Structure 1
Amino acid sequence: MKEIESSNLFPDRLYLIYRVGRLAFSSGIFFLFLSLSSISKLPVAPSSLFILGIYVIVSVALLLFSKKPYTFEFLLDEAVIFTLVASNVLNYNFFSIFLIFPVFFSTIILGSISGTTSLIFGLFLHIIFFLQKHNEGIATGVQTVLNSTALIAMFVAGLKLERKLKSQAFYIKELEKEKERTEFYKRLYEISANMAHEIKNPLASIKGALELIKEGKQNERLLEIIFKETDRLDRIVKDFLHLSRPSSPIKTEIFLPEAFQEILQSLQHFGKNYKLDVEPIKFKTDARGFYSTIENIVRNAFQWADSKVEIHCHKNNHTLEIIVEDDGPGIPEEEREKIFEPFYSKNPNGSGLGLSIVNKFILENKGTVKVEKSKLGGARFVVRLPLSEEV
């Protein structure tokens, strides 16, 4: 989705450019006249300098604090420019040069309604100026017509560009949707192929053992292969169903020390030493998903540890932090993102779905999981889950 959001960056950049230009314009004129006043008589009325000073402050505030553009700020720009022209700070011949910018940029950034409002206001200011200066001759009328025409032309140009940007953004969005669909099916095909591969191997072992039994070569080793591979198939199917099943909306209260002790009891057969440090915390969550998540992480640590595993669980502000680390070979940095992908596993006896189940549960519960290098030498899993359901 990041690419789709990038289609809005062009108007955002234009708004930033416009805000910087507004500040440069206002502060440039302000400090120019301020400098001139220090060496000679002030060339403009003090009220004009006061207006410029206020405008500089507003420009700074908009640059620093305004993230969203509003129509009123473009109208303000036009009003200030008109005030400067009426005060003879700016020459009317250059009036349209400055006035076209609020009209043009408001049309592109905010759309046709804001652009039309800015155009009407700009034309209104031209008419007022003409009514004030019409006694100065026909040149003033001609200049007003030319300025108004330029203003309308810039509005039309801005309108065309704004429509082109919208069309381009829509086209990019459609491309991104198509890319997402392609990626989805590509990933689906990959998962299907991996699933077939994972199921094919134990089925081949079972089939081979049954063929030997059929030929009368029955022995305990063949039966052991059948039971072992059947158990492996069962684990793969259960993990896959767990991965595809949505989290339960039912929240159950869990007492963490008891939960970790129960999980560790089921992993005693690994024969590894472990250190358990768990705060006596209770909180509500999807119990089945939580147990499966912690068991998969701890099981992974027990499988790869040489001799030692450390488990820490404590409260950090409003977050439950669970750290599981081991003294095994660790996980190379380039593989730390891949290990959460379905069927990615370096363990020949694993299904490759355990850490995918972990990632799914943590994401669904607005948590995070990070893999680092442990001080013990192996892998260090850091899980953080919000404790908003703490009891």
Structure 2
Amino acid sequence: MSRFIFSSSLFLILISLSLWREGIIIFNIYSIGIIFLYATVSLLSLFYKKENPYDFLLDIIFISALIKSNILYWDYIAILYLFPIFFSSFFLESGFTILFPIISLATYGITLYTTGMYTFQDLTVKLFLNGVAFFAIHIAGKTFARKLKNQATYIARLEEEKRKNEVFKRLYRISADLAHEIKNPLASIKAAVDLMSESDTCNKRLLELLKRETDRLSVVVNDFLMLSRPLDSHKTDINVKEMIKQIVESVRCMYPQKKVKLVIPDENIVITVPYKSFYSAVSNIIKNAFEWSKTIVVISVSCQKKILKLCVEDNGPGIDEETGEKVFEPFFTKKKDGTGLGLAIAKRVAIEMGGRLIVSSSIYGGAKFCLEIPIEQKEENDESADSR
């Protein structure tokens, strides 16, 4: 459509330039014929759904023909080469778009050479300057297209994550009702089993089985309540470095053969968040990494633009794309003794705190979990000033 509008209005522009430079209207039948042909082809190209290389090649030929037919205005018309070069780089993903600035420069040079109006030195200078402009606009078009594509991908990912978070929120509310419905009869069953175990006539083996299974179910229900429980309303100041060290020491004793690497800034990062909820989320992520890692767990922390980013990586088997879609769902687990609620709890805490928890592949070969939450960071200098 823009080509058709441009070609239709170009005739009026040429008339305006003629009046400005010569004082009279100059009609060039050759130029008018070229413009009419270009407008016709542009109109036909509207029926194509997508841009194709032939459209931009047509633009270059059209501009070269205009320069040839109306050489007095070449300094104005030559600027038009920039448009097909830029938009071909922007719309077409093929690497062959580098040919458009080359073709433009070649046709432009041949057109000027055939006029016989320029010396070899003048022609070389003009081609060099225009060549720099042509290739620069080509690079600009490619860069702009790449940035827009990355931005569109990022926005689509955020929209998909937002949609999933809404599903998780509804699931958490259902979990709360379900956990409360199960907890009371489970407590009654457990009490009855304890009373029956005091009798000498009952099958001790069967009672032990009932007791073991009720205890396991109690753990699941407690985790379910943790999943559905509202975040702490009370916020406290937390030294992130010290809290991570405490969690690592408590988990590491269960996996003494595994190493841990901490990548944490030297300065203390003190944030104000609900302690229990934040501690639960971080500990579940770190515990999951220790359980799946082969030899090493890497924990890194950074704080930029009021966003705390905590990443936990391992060198375990990793997570494929299909598993990555389900890993935060309650009860989804590939561990024999797992309840499948640890990462779901961490995900829920991240959502409720206005952040996100994402999973990707680690450079160490395993999985990488990144927790990002907006925080109220307290400066240590401010704390010192308050104490004084």
TM normalised by structure 1 equals 0.47
